[in-house]
Amino acid sequence: MNKLCLILALHNHQPVGNFDYVVEDAYQKSYLPFLKILERHPGIKLSLHYSGNLLLWLKDKHGDFFDLLKNLIKQGRIEMLSGGFYEPIIPAIPDDDKTGQIKKLNEFIEKELGYAPKGMWLTERVWEPAMPRHIAKAGIDYFPVDDHHFKLTGLTDKDLHGYFLTEDEDYAVHVFPGNEQLRYLIPFKDVDEVITYLRSVFENPSSITHHSSLVCMADDGEKFGVWPDTFKHVYTNGWLERFFSALDKNSDWLQTTTFAEYISKNPPAGRIYLPTASYREMGEWALFPPAAEEYDDTLKLLKNLIGDKKAHTLLRGGFWRNFLSKYPESNHLHKRMYQISRKVHKAVKELRVESEKLKKQNPKSQKTHQASRITHHDLLDELWQGQCNDAYWHGIFGGLYLPHLRSSLYAHLLRAEALSEQALALTPYHEADDLDKDGYKDIFLSTKTLSLFFTQKGGALCELSYKEKAVNVMDTLSRRYEAYHRKLSKCGDVHEHSETATIHERLVLKEHDIAKHLVFDPYRKASLIDHFIAKDTSIDQFRGNSYRESGNFIEALYAMKSGEKKNSLETEFSAAGEVNCAQEARPLPVMINKKISVRKASPEIAVLYEINPCAETKSEISDIRSRLSRNSSFCIEFNLSFLGSPEPEVKALSKGKTSGWGITSVTEAKKISMLNVTYGYLGISAIFEFNSPVNLWQFPVETVSSSEEGIERVYQGTTFIIFPDSEFISGEENQFGFVITLKGT
């Protein structure tokens, strides 16, 4: 009698840049106890994937775990799956990096664990039809996705008890459907319920003949102990031990196997062409909030009419790349990654050529080996770490909303950029194009010490990166409405949910009154944003976005140009707009000009503003200036974030006296001539020196976002609102300027 074959494929991963104590907690709660229990059940086989950076951590911190893993592999009980070394979304990175990352993990697994992988874990199961070529060229033959991918082609459950062949451009790979129902059963439902379901699959004939019937569960390994409340359920209360024992007990009709073993004994069920897809929940998260709400409402109606399975199949969500539309900060990081990848691969090519020349000149030259090491480790490895997927998107996990993950990606990308620019002797240089592919022109300036990224939209500064510390000090995330925000009133606290609930079924609040912190930004929190606001606007109105914007410059398309002088790179912006003062019958026409000069040899930026009425006669100009200064205030918005840390200190010089406060405080200060923001941990200061005293508002930017632990408030950065003296508007002072200096402490 043919048995039902069960593949249990588990994916274990920690984001690049995650805190060491978080990884250690996952090790103690999931990675180690899982293998210890598996070791006691010699009849059970598994397919396991660990991302490359997690394997590096395990090897460094827990060599005994590595030994246990190698022993289980030698016994033929574990099949190791490869993948992108640093867990990138494979179709969302450059082609050379696709194959390079997979090959790197192939080689690591074979060298360190003695296993040559032929299968892989596809990050977030994000599939696009052109992928077979890149996967096959990396030496990979098979991988699991979700049954959702297959059902989108019209197949049903009874058609999915095997695996399939797919191809593109004559490159073929094999793909397995992961069972969504089993993914929700394991480990959240009672073991008997899981076995009952597997028995029903065994007893109901499949449409696939001539091979053993198969069911595959492919999901995160962290749900065995790391996800909320699962450690107690899985280990303390013995769910995993009972499950493995039940598999042993039912071995007369049920057997665990691996992808490699199953392929060796069974042909594919057929050829298939899968559409662009990920797991079903990802499609929901990728939608813009209004569509996500409509999806949720429609799904509930359909479930009542036709049942859960049919509703999930017939109603489709979005697709992963839409996160790049949904979140401009994600898109910026993604397009900067592409920009840096081009530099890196150009530098790699040149370094390889140089290495070959040195080999021919002197085969034993130490310089040859040094060039080779820099090429492969310092350049490519830094780039590839910057492609780790977690901070490029947001779903049930924190992802993009976690500042330490974003800042880690920036750190690796900036180090890769600095090394490649050094190898290519690029700096200083400037380029102008639609670099972030948002339909607006951009200017990028790069010196030995700084990288700056400006956009035509609002004439804003979107990135200011300090190369010495590999940090983007403007890595702030805007506050946006998310579809789950409408559910906050229906959420319970962290103690009100069943310990066996999957994270997809949990929505809890980490603060009882967190809804009061919901504030949404109508524009991206960049810097050098130009505001005109009513004179009586308060800081609370401004930070709560309940004020009225009098000008139309925030999203105006500024004319811009860039150039180079002997000691600096220059960029200029200008825009004609209107200021609608409540007391005025007609809008006041105004021209804003701002010039930014970046020193080539030091991390110093000079900013110079001019505001001029759009009028021809002196009397008209004087009249507009008078009305402006009487009825409105001009201010410049700057947003700073040092690794998303709430610890930096702010010091200000006013009338010869120095005062200080925390960076997360809500503060108003007057007559400031110098501002110093210092972060001791990073060893960096951002110093603002004004050519005339300014008034200042400061307030924190905090998002309300979801994570696997629940809905939480996250500090993203701090907004500084700089008010030049009123004489600047009235015309008594022709220019207003300040100098920003970044330096190590």
Q: What is the mean pLDDT of the chain?
A: 93
% residues pLDDT > 90 (the chain): 83
**DSSP code of residue 576:** E
Distance (Å) of CA 468 to CA 212, 270, 478, 681: 59, 55, 26, 14
What phi and psi values does residue 546 have, to the nearest 5 degrees?
-110, 15
Tokens 């749900």 -> residue: 223
pLDDT at residue 372, as a whole number: 47
Distance CA 229, CA 239 (A): 13
For residues 84 and 555, give the distance between their C-alpha atoms in angstroms, rounded to a whole number: 38
Please give the distance of CA 114 from its chain centroid, rounded to a whole number.
Answer: 33
pLDDT tens, position by position, 51-63:
999 999 999 999 9
Pairing of strands 604-613, 657-662: unpaired
pLDDT digits (tens, 9 = 90+) for 101-129: 999 999 999 999 999 999 999 999 999 99
The catalytic residue among 168, 190, 220, 381 is 220
pLDDT, tens only, 172-222: 999 999 999 999 999 999 999 999 999 999 998 776 666 789 999 999 999
Q: What is the 3-state secondary structure (H, E, C) of 224-236?
A: CCCCCCHHHHHHH
Ranking 27-36, 282-291, 383-392, 492-501 by mean pLDDT, the lowest is 492-501
pLDDT at 505: 64
Alpha helices, DSSP H only, in 307-402? 308-314, 323-326, 328-361, 366-373, 382-385
Predicted pLDDT of residue 499: 52
CA distances to 147, 188, 312, 396, 715 from 309, rounded to whole Å, are: 11, 19, 5, 21, 39
State the Cα–Cα distance between residues 228 and 494, nearest whole angstrom. Answer: 9
* Tokens 């999957």 -> residue: 502
CB 700 within 8 A of CB 498: no
Burial bucket for residue 236 (CB in 10 Å: 0-12, 13-18, 19+): exposed
Task: Decide if pLDDT at 354 tops 90.
Answer: no
Mention every residue, 6+ apart, whose C-beta is less than 8 A from residue 155. Answer: 272
Are 702 and 517 within 8 A, CB to CB? yes
pLDDT recorded at residue 496: 47
- Token digits of residue 233: 């359920």
Verify whether residue 124 is a known catalytic residue: yes
pLDDT at 371 over 60: no
HSE-up of 726 (CA within 13 Å, CB side)? Answer: 11
| Low-confidence winner among 355-369, 544-558, 607-621 (lowest mean pLDDT) | 355-369
Cα gap 14→123, rounded to integer Å = 12
Catalytic residue selected from 79, 87, 97, 124 = 124
Strands 649-654 and 667-679: antiparallel
User: DSSP E strands: which ranges in 90-237?
Assistant: 142-146, 164-168, 171-178, 214-220
Position 369 pLDDT exceeds 60: no
Please give the pLDDT value at position 368. Answer: 46
CA angle 395, 401, 407 (to 5 degrees): 130
Distances (CA, A) of 53 to 87, 105, 381, 400, 741: 8, 10, 11, 19, 35
- The CA-atom distances, in angstroms, between 306 and each of 179, 292, 294, 298, 314 are 20, 20, 18, 12, 10
Query: Catalytic annotation on 220?
Result: yes
pLDDT > 50? residue 274? yes
Q: Tell me the two tokens of residue 652.
A: 């200000």
Angle ∠(31,410,556) on CA atoms, nearest 5: 135
pLDDT, mean of residues 553-573: 96
How many residues are there in the chain? 745
Q: What is the mean pLDDT of residues 456-480?
A: 97
